[in-house]
Structure 1
């Protein structure tokens, strides 16, 4: 699967978000450009390769991974998500009438780990013989535009994620009215047996 480098149009609003992370002191090896690092992160996320197999054109795997960790902790990716959701809303408008939500289980790359860490969004996957895994829970509008996402351990039931995923929405949801109702489509996995 080929990865297309990020465009100037995408990069221009993102560049100011990374200003606080620019090196203040001189010395050492020359820093890798943030655009190159972000391209490496997006390439890894799109292709699914491991950090160790990241092409060297993006810088060393440790440099790219270190920046990824710092930017995640600082909320940079959430801010990128918000900026582009607002841009999409201005250009096309979010379709709130019909919304959908679902989760997907993912295997964690820590097979031998005995302890599942909640702060790392890991939990024993009930569909994979109790191995460590995560669940990504996504809320979209009727055109499939992402509105909110949560990441939890694989052992968390879908029905317990509706509220937290709605709260994680990157854009404020308008109040439904009789003229503009809102519907949330969920599958049978959200029912709880009594």
Structure 2
């Protein structure tokens, strides 16, 4: 059974393939094995992202674990994963429209048993090695920026670099932006930062219980759930290098946005070869 349905993996691969660097020429002596097809490696990497596990668990007779790592590093050097996420976000903004007037930010701690970059002692997991993802999502709940840090880092200092992920949209930002935050950000430092950035805010006060469905923060909680429940490699971080960790976050965000794009397109748009029922399209 594939890790993702064909309605998602096929358009994702088409965009990914368009971003790949030119293929290297064959060895002039013809004495080397032919290069493993990029599609095979891509499918294996997506499967590892969804299911988790080591590279050796996903290697088989078609591709080795070493090839998976080398091709992953090659694509990271060319910025393919980040470009894929940017392309999917721009497509959603063009067809549906991103809601950048209502933003939410929150942190999510996960296990990182192998240690490495952006890891630290997790205070909510008996001091074991963990990682924190500070996630920025827009009004539809789509992730538009992720900052990685150690699990021992507080949410508040990560707010500035997280909001700076909005720079990916250039000057196409709305005049008024409101940021919804939980009680962990309730401080004058946060308010001074948001005032400096020209943002409005709604922060849950410390010591006061407010139901999450009375605010827009349930969007970011749902986004964190999409990350941890939908992608095994984001629930338990196994890569030690920062570049690899960022690449998996980019790929996961691209899948989430593409899935939402397909759903919204089915409701709002029409085309000639559109199936009668949605399940036929999937």
Using the size of structure 2 for normalisation, the TM-score is 0.58
Instruction: Say what the alpha-carbon RMSD is for the aligned residues.
Output: 2.5
Listed as ranges, the matches of 1:43-192 within 5 Å are 43-54=47-58, 56=60, 59-110=63-114, 117=116, 120-169=117-166, 170-172=168-170, 174-177=172-175, 181-191=176-186
Using the size of structure 1 for normalisation, the TM-score is 0.81
* Structure 1: unaligned runs, 5 residues or longer: 111-115
- State which of 11, 14, 17 in structure 2 corresponds to 1:15: 17
**Runs (4+) of structure 1 moved beyond 4 Å?**
173-176
Tell whether the 8 Å contact from 1:2 to 1:47 is kept in structure 2 after alignment.
Answer: no
Residues 152 and 80 of structure 1: is their aligned pair in 2 closer, same or farther, counting only changes over 3 Å?
Answer: same
Residues 10 and 47 of structure 1: is their aligned pair in 2 closer, same or farther, counting only changes over 3 Å?
Answer: same
Give, in angstroms, the shift of residue 139 of structure 1: 0.6
Tell whether the 8 Å contact from 2:121 to 2:150 is kept in structure 1 after alignment.
Answer: yes
Larger Rg: 1 or 2? 2
Which deviates more, 5-14 or 40-49?
A: 5-14
2:34 aligns to what SS in structure 1? coil
* Structure 2: unaligned runs, 5 residues or longer: 190-282
Which structure shows the bigger proportion of residues in helix conformation?
Answer: 2
Tell whether the 8 Å contact from 1:138 to 1:148 is kept in structure 2 after alignment.
Answer: yes
Residues 193 and 92 of structure 1: is their aligned pair in 2 closer, same or farther, counting only changes over 3 Å?
Answer: closer
Give, in angstroms, the shift of residue 10 of structure 1: 2.4
